[in-house]
Each structure stands twice: as structure tokens, then as C-alpha cells.
Structure 1
Amino acid sequence: MRAITLSQAVNEAIAEEMRRDKSVFLIGEDVAEAGTPFKITSGLVEEFGTDRVIDTPISEPGFMGLAVGAAMTGSRPIVDIMFGDFLFLIMDQLCNQAAKAYYMSGGKLNVPLVVRTNLGATRRSAAQHSQSLHALVSHIPGLKVAMPSSAYEAKGLLKTAIRDNNPVVIFEDKLMYQDKAEVPEEEYLIPFGEASVLQEGNQITLIGTSSMRQVCEEAASILGKENISVEVIDPRTLVPLDEKTILKSAKKTGRVIVVDEGHQNFGVTAEIASRISEKAFYYLDAPVIRMGAMDVPVPFSPVLEDITVPTAEKVASNARKLVSGALVHEL
């Protein structure tokens, strides 16, 4: 099987779906000639033309509104939001219009629209270009939210999203665009709401979203050398969330650490931890531990920025304490 980058996987997914369905089009800032700042969409305008790969002015509310209207009338737009931080500019169009149309129309009006954007710190892009806003979007009923953790997930989840009849927001980690993974050449889809168990274990479960999957896998490797048996889970999608797989693992190991790059306050780690505590409480041997970004604006300084997000060493340290019982006594 060939190995390709996450960037190439996204490009392939878009191209394949645009060939398959002429109602699919791509719209956003610098998506045509420039191929986006991360070169995700390079080459698409040459194949599909400027009628289907549309460069826009710097007006996120304008082209998002256009996309919502197009989706309501039979098209399947893929909206490229250059940085996840710019989601604040399209909140009305996304959350008040796209997310609610199906419900307010009694199921008569679908909005088959995909918003592709990104998340993640440690790119030295400062507070306004480094936020991870997936928890905010996950709070809105009517929106599905996917978080690919590799090129394989990126392609399969995006193809599923494009074929969905209602709005999906996909968050890709900016640091992962050049990361390679094995991706089949034949077509495949990844269903929403199906987590991936990357490694089986029986002493502790590590749940990692997006790039935190790699952090958890690295932590599991460290712990494995110490004979600590670790299960690693990638949720893949937050909405819908695969509770069944998560709860099964929590009941098996009795100890869980949830790792996410979003801020801790009212975030993804809190939601997953609360569901485990509510539905698997009597199977737990210790409290569920949450690890996320510090609750501060992302610093520009590399020294400061690096300490705001979870690392494999920090996860492994907490896991050791949880397995030994030391962390329980500290709490």
C-alpha cells in the first residue's frame, strides 16, 4: 500500500468526489491558483476550472452564506476556512442557518455542506491563528464534527462528509499536513461515529483526538517499555461520538486519560470524561484524567507555546501515577 501525506489525501478526496458528483464544488480564499497556504488544493483548478474551484474575496461571512444557499438548492459545497480561528466570522451562517435548516423545515430542507478548516498550536502563529475550536462547534445541534488523525482518516472521513446530506465541519491539524500514512488506492469511506482502537491493552486507556492520537501512541510506547499495558483510542468524530467503544475500553482497563489539544474549560476532554464517569463509574479504579491545552491564549514565543499543549512525556507521567495509585492520592 502506498504512503501519502495528509495534504495529498485531502486533495485526492476532494478530486474524487468532484469527479463522482458534478454538484460538488470548492470555495474559499486562495483555493484555486495558490492551492491554499498549505497547498492542500493544488492542481484542482486545472482539472475542474474556476466554475467549481472558486477563489473568493476576504469575506468569510459572504462566501459562507453563498455556500449555505447553494447547499439548500442542490449543490454540495466544500468551504475552505483558511484558519480555524476564522470560524468566528461565519458563526451565524454555520450555526443559525446551516445547522438549523433541516430541523426548522421539518426535514424538508437539507444542507449538504462541508466546512474544512484546521486547528493546532506550535506553529508559531500566535493567538489568532493557533486556536482549536472544535469543542465550540461540537456544542451546536445539527452539526457533525470530524477530526482526522492521519492521512488515512483524512481521506475516508472527508469523502463521507461530502456525501452527507447535512453540514459537517472537519478539523485538520496544521502540523500534520506533511505526515505520511498508508492510504489505499481503491475507494473507501470511514463511517462517522466509529472510533478506532489503535492498540489493545488492559491497564489504562488513552483517548487522543487528532494529533493527540500520536501523542497517546508515543506515550503508550514509552509505557510499554515499563510493562504497562495501554489501550489507545482515536474517536475520529466528536459528533457523533462512539460511546460504545470508549465505554467498553474504560470498563476493561478501569483507568482513562483523555487527551485533546483544545482548552480544558468546558471542552472535549470534559465531555468525554463526564460520559465515562456517568456510564462506567462502577468499573473505574481511579478518576478519569483530562489533559488539554492550558487555558490561556496561545503564545507566540516558542518557549511558552510549547508548554501549553500535552506531550507524550506528560501523558506517560500521569499514566504511571494513575496505574500505581499515586495520582488518586494526590487528588
Structure 2
Amino acid sequence: MNKTFLFDALREATDEEMKRDKSVFVLGEDVGHYGGSYKVTKDLHIKYGDLRVLDTPIAENSFLGMAIGASITGLRPIVEGMNMSFLLLAFNQISNNAGMLRYTSGGNFTIPLVIRGPGGVGKQLGAEHSQRLEAYFQAIPGLKIVACSTPYNAKGLLKSAIRDNNPVIFFEHVLLYNLQDSIPSEEYFIPLDQAEVVREGKDVTIVTYSRMRHHVMQAVDALLEDKYNPEVIDLISLKPIDIETIVSSLKKTHKLIIVEECMKTGGIAAEIIAQVNDEYFDLLDSPIIRLSSQDIPTPYNGSLEKATVIQPQQIVEAVKNILS
């Protein structure tokens, strides 16, 4: 086991897959000589050359379209969005091309494409750099969506995503790149469609993902002191949602809290609530609690920004309320 930063875990996964398969290449803004805005591709251009670690112009719709065309011809592109917010400029390519071409071609084309990069609410990045695009992409047929939360799952998920024959949106949180943890030295993979039971418990099920996993675990530390015993699930897969793991937990706890950094309206929590209410309503002993970000553009002001995002104390209070 080696102590590794999350950005280095992503770099290791990319390096290993590029070494293994010459059809894998990286493209995006400043991914080559600069090494990526968060150094996920640092020095890879030295090892693999400028055509496999390709610096693009500032033109998201163009290089996303190019990547989709490359995937149709048999290559396996990894597109880095310098900030995932910028990929809204390529929404047409992602939805009408990446998501649909396998279907509209009658299965003649596969789209082995990974679109990855930093997103989420950072520290005073302003509204346009603080987007959570999972709500935007959730409704697009044909996509897989994952969100890494630790160095361990970041590496295993990215290797699986690169080998998958479908377009995968791979969310990294801008504030987690310097998270450090032990990861195995031997090769490993993590499924793209399975949630992780982070902590087993019996009082209440808390479902979360990405950076909020760490806010939840801070809250759990406080709750354990007061003899509460929550179960914590990291979704990891945002599309498809691993509803079976959530339901298995609800059969024990019968209470559900969902914690997300996504906006409340049309967010990931909204989809989970709909699925649980449609098929598993009888498992619930109380209404589902949804802890989501405020439905406003993220303020630049640090105090206001913090107030828009769920904090550990709010999670503690929600658990105490649902169990009272």
C-alpha cells in the first residue's frame, strides 16, 4: 500500500492505461506541457508525446466533437475539462452525439470516451466555476456518470472508465485533489455501477457522494459520541444509481437522509427519492430528508458561499430530528 494524493492516483490510472493500450490518449486545455490545471497529466507528454497528450485550443465544443469522432474510429479518448463548468459549451456534443450515437447507428459505433475534470463548489471560485453538472447530465440517455471521493476509488474507477465502451462522465471535486490515502501497489478496478457502504449501522441510512462523503463522516464522528449508529453509503455511481444497495440498507434502518452538493431542484437526491417512493415506499418509517445546496448561483463571498452548501452540523441535526 502506498500513500498517494488523489490527483496522483488519477495520474497513475491514466499512465497505466496509456502504457497498456496505445489507443488511449488525453486531450484538453493545458493537459500537455503545463501538466493539467491540477497536475493530473503532469509529465505524461514527455513519456507519450504531444499527439497522445494533446493540448487543444479553448474550444470545448470542438475538441469534444473531435474526441467523439476519434472514439468512433477506435481510439479511446480521455477529455479533461479544465473546469467541468466549461463543458456546458459542449452540451450538444455530449448529449446529441456521445450519448446517442451508439443507438442511432444501430450499434455500429461504440463511444469509449471518458470526460473528466474538476467540479463542485471550491473556495471562492465564483458562480460560473462552481457548477455541479451531475443534475444537467443525469437526464441524458446513454451516459454513465461516476463521482470519485477518495484516492482509492479515484484510481480504480478511472481505470474501469477508460476500459468501458460507453461514454463516462467522471466527476472529481476541486477540493479533494490533495486528499491523501493508501492505495494498493497492485492493479485493481472498481465497478462503475456500484455504491460503497462506507460504514455499517442500524439507525438511519445516509446516502451521499463526492466531497459530501467527508462532511458526512465528520458528522458521524459527532453522532457516535451521542450513541447514534448511522449507516453511510457513498453512491459513486450517479447514473445508473445503485438503488439495490440503498434498499438493502433501508430494510435495516427504515429511515433515509440524502446529502449532496448538487442543487435541490432536479438533483441526484430528487431522483433517489422518486425511485424509493415509486418502488420501496413501504420500507420507510418517516419522510426522506434531503440536504442539498441552495438553488442559487454560488456566491463569491466566502461566508455566503459556505452558507449555500450543507455543513456537518446540519447533517448531525437532521439525524437527530429523524430519530426523535
| TM-score normalised by structure 2 residue count | 0.98
The separation in 2 between residues aligned to 1:298 and 1:35, in whole angstroms, is 28
Aligned residues: 324
Residue 254 (str. 1) matches residue 243 (str. 2):
no
The AA in structure 1 aligned to 2:235 is: P
Name the counterpart of 1:46. Answer: 46
The separation in 1 between residues aligned to 2:21 and 2:236, in whole angstroms, is 25
How much has 1:118 moved relative to structure 2?
A: 2.2
The separation in 2 between residues aligned to 1:22 and 1:172, in whole angstroms, is 25
How much has 1:279 moved relative to structure 2?
A: 2.3
Name the counterpart of 2:128. Answer: 128
Structure 2: gaps (5+ residues): none
How much has 1:37 moved relative to structure 2?
A: 1.7
How much has 1:58 moved relative to structure 2?
A: 0.7
How much has 1:123 moved relative to structure 2?
A: 1.6
Which of 276-285 and 27-36 deviates more? 276-285
2:323 aligned counterpart, secondary structure: helix
The AA in structure 2 aligned to 1:207 is: V
How much has 1:117 moved relative to structure 2?
A: 2.1
The separation in 1 between residues aligned to 2:119 and 2:273, in whole angstroms, is 22
- Identity percentage of aligned residues: 43
Name the counterpart of 1:314. Answer: 314
The AA in structure 2 aligned to 1:130 is: S
The separation in 1 between residues aligned to 2:225 and 2:46, in whole angstroms, is 50
1:190 aligned counterpart, secondary structure: coil
The separation in 2 between residues aligned to 1:258 and 1:279, in whole angstroms, is 17
How much has 1:319 moved relative to structure 2?
A: 0.7
Residues 46-78 of structure 1: CA distance to partner in whole angstroms, max 9, x if unpaired? 111101000011111111111110000010000
**Residues 207 and 216, structure 1, Cα contact 8 Å, conserved in 2:** no
The separation in 1 between residues aligned to 2:94 and 2:27, in whole angstroms, is 15
1:297 aligned counterpart, secondary structure: coil
1:1-331 equivalence runs, <5 A = 1-324=1-324
The separation in 1 between residues aligned to 2:99 and 2:282, in whole angstroms, is 37
The separation in 2 between residues aligned to 1:283 and 1:25, in whole angstroms, is 46
Residues 211-248 of structure 1: CA distance to partner in whole angstroms, max 9, x if unpaired? 11111111111111111110000011111211110111
The AA in structure 1 aligned to 2:140 is: I
The separation in 2 between residues aligned to 1:98 and 1:244, in whole angstroms, is 27
1:177 aligned counterpart, secondary structure: coil
Let me know the Cα RMSD of the aligned residues: 0.9
2:115 aligned counterpart, secondary structure: strand
The separation in 1 between residues aligned to 2:247 and 2:118, in whole angstroms, is 28
Structure 1: gaps (5+ residues): 325-331
**Residues 61 and 90, structure 2, Cα contact 8 Å, conserved in 1:** yes
The AA in structure 2 aligned to 1:288 is: I
The AA in structure 2 aligned to 1:57 is: P
**Residues 247 and 279, structure 1, Cα contact 8 Å, conserved in 2:** no
**Residues 208 and 215, structure 1, Cα contact 8 Å, conserved in 2:** no
**Residues 122 and 306, structure 1, Cα contact 8 Å, conserved in 2:** no
The AA in structure 2 aligned to 1:23 is: S
**Residues 45 and 53, structure 1, Cα contact 8 Å, conserved in 2:** yes
**Residues 122 and 302, structure 1, Cα contact 8 Å, conserved in 2:** no
The separation in 2 between residues aligned to 1:15 and 1:122, in whole angstroms, is 27
The separation in 1 between residues aligned to 2:276 and 2:216, in whole angstroms, is 18
| TM-score normalised by structure 1 residue count | 0.96
The separation in 2 between residues aligned to 1:140 and 1:118, in whole angstroms, is 20
1:132 aligned counterpart, secondary structure: coil
**Residues 64 and 93, structure 2, Cα contact 8 Å, conserved in 1:** yes
2:216 aligned counterpart, secondary structure: helix
How much has 1:290 moved relative to structure 2?
A: 0.6
2:127 aligned counterpart, secondary structure: coil
The AA in structure 2 aligned to 1:164 is: D
Provide runs of 4+ in structure 1 moved above 3 Å: none
Which of 294-303 and 247-256 deviates more? 247-256
How much has 1:2 moved relative to structure 2?
A: 1.4
1:176 aligned counterpart, secondary structure: coil
Residues 163-195 of structure 1: CA distance to partner in whole angstroms, max 9, x if unpaired? 011100001000000001221111111012111
**Residues 67 and 79, structure 1, Cα contact 8 Å, conserved in 2:** yes
2:155 aligned counterpart, secondary structure: helix
The AA in structure 2 aligned to 1:84 is: M
